[in-house]
Structure 1
Amino acid sequence: MRIIDLIHQLLPAGTDAAYLVEAPTREILNRPGGARATFPSYSLCPVWPPDLFAVVGTIIERSGCYTEASPDRNRLSQHAAELAAMARTAASWQRMLERPPQAVRQLWHQLVSNYGMIPLAQVAEHPSVLRVLLHLFAIADEASAGMGWDRRARDGRHSELALNVLINAVDDPSIPNPFVLPYWPHSLCGMVSPDHVVVLPKSLTTTKGCTIRSLSHHLALLPCRTTLNPSWFLVSRKAAQRRANEIRLLLVPYPFFIPDDSFELTSSRTQLGNGTTHAAFFRLRQRWLEDAAGPTLSGTDLAELLVLPLIEQATAASGGLAPNGIVFPECALSEQVANELVKALAGTEIEFLITGVLAENARTGRSLNQAKMYALIEGEGALPREQNKHHRWRIDQTQADTYGLNFDTDPDNHQWWEDIHLTGRQLPFYAFRKDMSMVTLICEDLARMDPAMNAIRAVGPNLVVALLMDSPQLYFRWPGRYAGVLTDEPGCSVLSLTCLATVDRSNRYFKSTRRVVGLWSQPSIQGKAAAQEEIEVQPDHHGVLLTLKSSPFHQTTLDNRSDAYAARQLSLIGQQSLQVQI
């Protein structure tokens, strides 16, 4: 495949809207094949930086020429001058929506006219085309600074381009929108379909290895959405002036007790004619939300009995500052209980609630193991987002013995798979601060490479929250091992949280007393080695307050572009076990 062939593939309607047969509306662009054109033209440079980033980035990635991005040690002064020139070009592009600067248009013309016939496999052999590709990529990345963030430049203003993304994110019909992003919130591109490649905002630039992930500060290049549909949501609120660099998380390791009949066999192991067996399946019933002596526990009850008192305790422990967010473990609540709980939090200073939820697929009737994130926006109520679990839990005999489970009468069966619906794999990223993002994973999804890990490594969220139904979160167990992979690259901080019920069941089996419900893993920060800290709930306590510190740090790309200390790292500075009267 040649460079021009890949450009045609990514932009089938060309780069000039004058040749389109139909208006490029959101509906038309999301249609298979996109908008039709009479005679697609590629002479004009894409006017929107993320589109240019998507096209050039795909060429760079497919050709592997990012390995040539490091500066030539024999011409470092010239390279520094080129970086300064690219920064000036990007800054000028940020002030205009009509068309790119002349320098960008000239580079694009060279790419299409002079180098379009070069096969991708030979790109790295041509220094001149390498220079054009790397310059276009860097300029598009720098011009996109601030896109997807509620963050202003040093002069207190948004760039024209970043402001346009903010307008699309708000989606208010009363606000004029000069450039509609048809794929938002699933991609920043205006012309390149997410069926080919996805572009999202970026938090962290990996400093490990040599990949295209190391070559950008502001935009992330992700695979097409067919295997995983990522998205980006702005949920930030104005930070308090007092201790603004702190984030306080209230961890509620609920349920505290799981009845034996919460695990049910849905399908027995079955022998097949070809000598294999079809596995047994189980499902969870949230018996912990039921009360044999009365009605099912409501979200209002949960708030009054547990959550609001914990918020009060956490606020007192923080010198009058309320927690910023609340986290429940995997499968902790039903959808109804979660919705009721969020309503009961109205009027508090809580910014977000993350919880595991058991729901039901309306079409198939199958169970859905979900992570739900509620952003509590001032004046707008709660904005919910959810994602389904990507991989099933497999209980083996060792785990069944550890948790005291005996729901299958087949004495020869020793494995049971979680009976949940897996289709529609989503991965929402949340910009929960003006300069930080987070993502949630559900148990096994932390340990599996596909489909989420490539997206997480590309975006580099500052915080990964893993919701588990698991044994004690001791540093040497599997959550700690897989969290360590993400702290190493791209440098995320990772919080795993399980419920007290499974911790206590495991402790009874192993005759342990430590109630380690969580594990905090953080990358190397300011020269200090990467670290992990176990999060423990004291006897008869019901929650933990984590206090995190956000610190700026410096990042550079493979081609030595600086982010001017715009990136942030999260470190744990304190934990306190909390008790309420239930």
Structure 2
Amino acid sequence: MTSVATEFVVLDFIKLVLPDGTNGKASWKAVCEWPPDLFAAMAAIAERSGLYSEPTFTSYWVEDRFYPKGEWIKETCEIGRKWATTGRPPKKVQASWRLLVTQFKFSRIDDDDEEWRKIVFWLLAIADEASSGIGFSVRASESRQVSDQGATTLIQFVVYSDYQVWRQRWETDRSAIGGDVLPYLPHSLCIGVRPEIACVQPKTSAPTVGCTLRSLTHHLALLPSIANVTTHWHIAHERGEESHAFNLLLVPFPYHIPGQSFIPVPGKSPGTSNNKVFKLDPDVWMQGTTPAQFAKFLTHLLDAARPEMQPINAVVLPEIALPLDFAESVARILARTRRLDLFVTGVVTGQGHDARNSAAIYRFVNGLLIDRSFQSKHHRWGLDDGQIRRYHLGHVLDPDYKWWERIDVSHRECHVMLFRANATLSVLICEDLARYDPVLTVMNAIGPNLVIALLMDGPQLEHRWPGRYATVLADDPGSAVLTLTSLGMVARSSMPADPPSREIALWKEPTGKAKALRLPKGDHALLLTLTSRLIEQHTLDGRGDGGATVHFALGAAHPVRHPGPLPDWLGPIP
């Protein structure tokens, strides 16, 4: 959208977003019949014009000028609910659209005319309200107050049903896109807006700080085109009643990382830059173990954790913990235990120039592996002189060079998984937590309730970079953030005679300070309980979400010790 010149008029901009017409009929006279399409056009205009920051829409203390007052909010919500229920845009929406594309069609995007801006602002809010509960399971939507009676709306049901259609196609064709109604699932909710132009996805949290377009909506998020980053929204499989708690077992494997795991790759960058390339080989620390042996180790940890709490919902391992094929086999074994909902681990995929550093997320239901997603790292790890010396790698990587991780960072993707009623999870990998473009633009727009960052890093302390960037996400969009690194990398951060650090994880929620999570000597995992409660959020125009936003907090942390004897392939444990 940023390439559009400011001299464009309103109708030209609408045509840019909806080049085939509002309803695929090469005409823009009628309003979009599908709320996400109208949202995409209005959000693009609002973002380009910056109207969301103007006093008319944000300064409620200026009574004679402020536009979205109490009656406006009430009417907006009622019209949105009517559209959601009937599936057709109400007459007031149609009338406002006609006014926009007839009387104001030649208004310049950069002018100061408040009349057309008020129409855009109103249509944006109505499209958002009409999309309440969109992208969530039918049962989950009932707690999102999508109507006065809490019943599923037609708009929400169409999306949920079409996701099931797409999912069935995806089971036999992993390149399948679209359902019967929505042609761009799972990347966008739009029908008339091509994903090469912009994408619209569901949303779970609105920022409580700042003044951006993201602050205007509860239910829909405007995202970049799929050429920038391709998003995948995963609707949860139907489950029974769920506890308010989410219990995770953090396993900081590998416990020992030999220096020979960092392997220089021949060649040097052209020109005068002082760059070289290395690769990481997890086979060095796997020491010939089998998936069955590794899965047995994890199940022993689960057994050791059982006296403290049940159920345990997820097992999480750090960045590059396992090779991909190995992780796939472990996931299938864990699924058969019927004891977990999720298995999350860093994996290495591919060989040579095709190698990727990815986060693998496996979802289980009733002993079956029903869903898997792989989000590869978007930014390479760069080891400079300071890091090489801090991790005691000078014998394998020359500190006079900057060493870059040899991975493919093309075809960037971002996965958002509905893992609890109303609650979403995203997983980031190391540098992606600290680099805004492109994945954090998606994180900020959608606002996942929980973000897990898999790291290959030193101790997880509040004053270090993971603590700083976790705080940024906790502030805006308001996600709870959990970072996890391996004990092996934490150990490499200490001098031989120094007391060893054991802060393997860090927790930051939207309120409160970041908490470093330390693994006691002799223990092998941390068991966390995340409690949840519903809070109400408000958009900049004052619309509430009825208390539908999930807020996670750290409820408990317990060390877990393997019952022993420990397998030899684990290597020495600090």
> Aligned partners of 2:479, 2:397: CA distance in 1, in Å?
44
Equivalent position amino acid for 2:458 in 1: S
> Aligned partners of 1:307, 1:288: CA distance in 2, in Å?
20
Residue deviations 1:174-199, cap 9 Å, x none? 99x99611111111111101211111
2:522 to 511, 535, 540: 540
Distance 1:566 1:78, change over 3 A: closer
What does residue range 500-539 of structure 1 map to in structure 2 within 5 Å? 500-509=487-496, 511-524=498-511, 530-539=512-521
Equivalent position amino acid for 1:567 in 2: T
Aligned to 2:76: 86
- Verify the 8 A CA contact 2:165 2:179 in the aligned structure 1: no
Residue deviations 1:303-332, cap 9 Å, x none? 11x2111122223211xx121111110000
Structure 1 position 540, deviation (Å): 1.8
- Verify the 8 A CA contact 1:372 1:384 in the aligned structure 2: yes
> Aligned partners of 1:178, 1:489: CA distance in 2, in Å?
33
Aligned to 1:164: 158
Structure 1 position 567, deviation (Å): 0.7
1:44 to 27, 30, 51: 30
> Aligned partners of 2:53, 2:150: CA distance in 1, in Å?
37
| Partner secondary structure for residue 384 of structure 1 | strand
> Aligned partners of 1:178, 1:513: CA distance in 2, in Å?
54
- Verify the 8 A CA contact 2:274 2:402 in the aligned structure 1: no
Aligned to 1:313: 304
2:20 to 7, 13, 16: 13
Distance 1:380 1:105, change over 3 A: farther
Structure 1 position 507, deviation (Å): 2.7
Structure 1 position 73, deviation (Å): 2.3
> Aligned partners of 1:402, 1:427: CA distance in 2, in Å?
31
Residue deviations 1:460-499, cap 9 Å, x none? 1111111001111011111001111111111111111000
Distance 1:578 1:409, change over 3 A: closer
> Aligned partners of 1:174, 1:443: CA distance in 2, in Å?
33
Equivalent position amino acid for 1:427 in 2: C
> Aligned partners of 1:194, 1:114: CA distance in 2, in Å?
29
> Aligned partners of 1:121, 1:77: CA distance in 2, in Å?
20
Aligned to 2:3: none
What are the ranges of 5 or more consecutive residues in structure 2 without an aligned counterpart? 1-7, 170-177, 567-574
2:51 to 65, 68, 86: 65
Structure 1 position 239, deviation (Å): 5.5
Structure 1 position 401, deviation (Å): 2.1
> Aligned partners of 2:422, 2:395: CA distance in 1, in Å?
48
Distance 1:546 1:409, change over 3 A: closer
- Verify the 8 A CA contact 1:269 1:413 in the aligned structure 2: no
Matched, 1:351 2:341: yes
| Partner secondary structure for residue 485 of structure 1 | helix
| Partner secondary structure for residue 255 of structure 2 | coil
2:541 to 551, 559, 562: 559
Matched, 1:326 2:326: no
- Verify the 8 A CA contact 1:236 1:434 in the aligned structure 2: no
- The root-mean-square deviation of aligned C-alpha atoms, in Å, is 2.2
- Verify the 8 A CA contact 1:377 1:383 in the aligned structure 2: no
Residue deviations 1:383-412, cap 9 Å, x none? 1110111111111222222222145475x7
Structure 1 position 78, deviation (Å): 8.0
What does residue range 334-349 of structure 1 map to in structure 2 within 5 Å? 334-345=323-334, 346-349=336-339
What does residue range 135-534 of structure 1 map to in structure 2 within 5 Å? 135-150=122-137, 151-153=140-142, 154=145, 155=149, 157-171=151-165, 180-235=181-236, 238=239, 240=241, 244-269=243-268, 276-277=272-273, 279-291=275-287, 296-304=288-296, 306-318=297-309, 321-345=310-334, 346-360=336-350, 365-378=353-366, 380-408=368-396, 413-509=400-496, 511-524=498-511, 530-534=512-516
Distance 1:374 1:2, change over 3 A: same
| Partner secondary structure for residue 506 of structure 2 | strand
Distance 1:238 1:510, change over 3 A: farther
1:4 to 7, 11, 32: 11
> Aligned partners of 2:164, 2:452: CA distance in 1, in Å?
25
Equivalent position amino acid for 1:303 in 2: A
> Aligned partners of 1:129, 1:564: CA distance in 2, in Å?
29
Structure 1 position 379, deviation (Å): 6.7
Aligned to 1:25: none
Distance 1:326 1:409, change over 3 A: closer
> Aligned partners of 2:216, 2:237: CA distance in 1, in Å?
27
- Verify the 8 A CA contact 2:264 2:397 in the aligned structure 1: no
1:549 to 501, 508, 531: 531
Distance 1:112 1:472, change over 3 A: same
> Aligned partners of 1:61, 1:487: CA distance in 2, in Å?
23
Equivalent position amino acid for 1:487 in 2: A
Structure 1 position 571, deviation (Å): 0.8
Equivalent position amino acid for 2:155 in 1: L
> Aligned partners of 1:510, 1:559: CA distance in 2, in Å?
58
- Verify the 8 A CA contact 1:259 1:287 in the aligned structure 2: no
How many residues are matched? 537
Equivalent position amino acid for 1:143 in 2: A
> Aligned partners of 1:448, 1:258: CA distance in 2, in Å?
26
Equivalent position amino acid for 2:195 in 1: P
- Verify the 8 A CA contact 1:203 1:460 in the aligned structure 2: yes
> Aligned partners of 1:507, 1:409: CA distance in 2, in Å?
18
- Verify the 8 A CA contact 1:235 1:377 in the aligned structure 2: no
- Verify the 8 A CA contact 1:255 1:288 in the aligned structure 2: no
- Verify the 8 A CA contact 1:237 1:433 in the aligned structure 2: no
Structure 1 position 337, deviation (Å): 1.4
Aligned to 1:118: 107
> Aligned partners of 1:249, 1:290: CA distance in 2, in Å?
23
